[in-house]
Amino acid sequence: MTGPLAGVRVVELGGIGPAPHAAMVLADLGADVVRLERASGGLRVGDDERLDHMLRSRIASVVVDLADPAGAEAALELIDRADVLVEGYRPGVAERFGLGPDTCLARNPRLVYGRITGWGREGDLAARAGHDLDYLALTGGLHAIGRPGERPVPPLNLVADFGGGSMLLVAGVLAALVERATSGRGQVVDAAMVDGASLLLQLMWSMRGVGQWRDRPGSNLLDGGAPFYDTYACADGRHVAVAALEPRFYAELVGVLDHAGALDADALPDRDDPRGWPHLRAAFEAAFAARTRDEWTTVFAGTDACVAPVLSFEEAARDTHLRARGTLVEVDGVTQAAPAPRFSRTAPDAPRAPRRAAAAGEDATAALAAVRARWGGEAVSSGGTPAAPR
């Protein structure tokens, strides 16, 4: 393993959504991650197990029956040697397995115990099931995403699951590892998706606080209300994204469209007066409808008008800019994201196919022994003596 987290050992208690995504990010950064799968195979969004694997390149997967005391003890023996534990169960589930933070930290006081839930561990909804869309709905964020008079639009599961969930958990785990270097002690990192999604919405809360954001979808600067921050249909039915927020970028946008003969710049209303936005939007709609998406991409090439083609996944995989950066890579014939961010000295390994220490139905004993041998060292004693710094 290479990367800035090389030498950091992580145990992930298998699940779906933000917890395995967080483990993937840690693995991408060089951590040695072992995922403990449920004996039942765990939860999956689909039947194809490759869906699970695409979140787990670089991660060794071992099937362990955590409901069996022997399986739970095997898990604890790994956790004794770990720097980080990641779990995404409902409140109380890890404790029922005997793997709660009190137990784990008593055995390994240097452990950073990262846990993530949707609703949080307190409050009226703490014990209820939910998914990304539910958590985003409660924060006000989902209400703000959509067109006036239309239903809110699910923004994939990027906001609560992966933005407010996984990435905030990763930030917390990394912060706790930094603090541990001074104190020598681990701690619990408690990430709730309703908290993280709310944090991502802080700009909107701030704008609302000073009267610059209205609780009406499609009427604000960043929600498609402003004609210069929206998407437009082209002659071929495909779309371009326009994000000319700053005046100088807006001036370049209008100048390019004027030069192309698509509109009359002198006839446009003041962009900063919302009363003129309907007329401005109509002018942009007519302009972009006059040519195909790719024709407009060529017209705007090399400009700072903040106009980009809206690409499908298939098109994104062929895009020259993304290919030049290596933003997307192919592993075993499957296109996926390359590790991010990038580091000047401690560049992580390139992604590779997942390695499974043991598959469902196989004997996991040898696989667990192999992981313990690879991690080496003595387990932290139950008496609570911290392990030597790594």
Check which CATH number belongs to the domain holding 102 and give it: 3.40.50.10540
Mean pLDDT of 38-64: 62
Q: Which two tokens stand for residue 324?
A: 């030049």
Mean pLDDT of 88-94: 94
136 in a domain, yes or no?
Answer: yes
Q: Which residues are catalytic?
A: 131, 161
| Residue 60 · residue 201 · CB < 8 Å | no
Q: Which two tokens stand for residue 370?
A: 């192999």
List phi, psi (to 5°) of 121.
Answer: -95, -5
Which of these three, 301, 318, 335, is where a domain ends?
A: 318
Residues 331 and 311 both lie in one domain: no
Radius of gyration from C-alpha coordinates of the chain: 25
Give residue-wise pLDDT tens across range 244-276: 999 999 999 999 999 999 999 999 999 999 999
The per-residue pLDDT for 112 is 98
Residue 287: name the closest of 256, 262, 252, 308 by CA: 262
Spatial distance between the Cα atoms of 66 and 99, rounded to a whole number of angstroms: 9
| Residue 96 · residue 102 · CB < 8 Å | no
Residues 131 and 161 both lie in one domain: yes
Number of domains in the chain: 2
Residues 187 and 261 both lie in one domain: no
Spatial distance between the Cα atoms of 345 and 367, rounded to a whole number of angstroms: 33
221 in a domain, yes or no?
Answer: no
Which of these three, 293, 318, 343, is where a domain ends?
A: 318
Residues in the chain: 390
Which of these three, 318, 339, 363, is where a domain ends?
A: 318
pTM, two decimals, is 0.90
180 in a domain, yes or no?
Answer: yes
Check which CATH number belongs to the domain holding 292 and give it: 3.30.1540.10
The per-residue pLDDT for 382 is 35
Residue 25's CB is within 10 A of a number of other CB atoms, namely 22
Spatial distance between the Cα atoms of 364 and 30, rounded to a whole number of angstroms: 24
Residue 380 has pLDDT above 80, yes or no: no
Residues 241 and 306 both lie in one domain: yes
Give residue-wise pLDDT tens across range 314-371: 999 999 999 999 999 988 788 889 999 999 999 988 887 665 545 544 556 777 888 8
CA distance readout (Å), 237 to 77, 225, 293, 345? 58, 21, 8, 45
Element (H, E) at 329: strand 328-331
Percentage of the chain surpassing pLDDT 70? 88
Per the structure, the complete domain to which residue 248 belongs is given by: 229-318
Give residue-wise pLDDT tens across range 190-239: 999 999 999 999 999 999 999 999 999 999 999 999 999 999 999 999 99
Residue 353's CB is within 10 A of a number of other CB atoms, namely 12
The per-residue pLDDT for 46 is 53
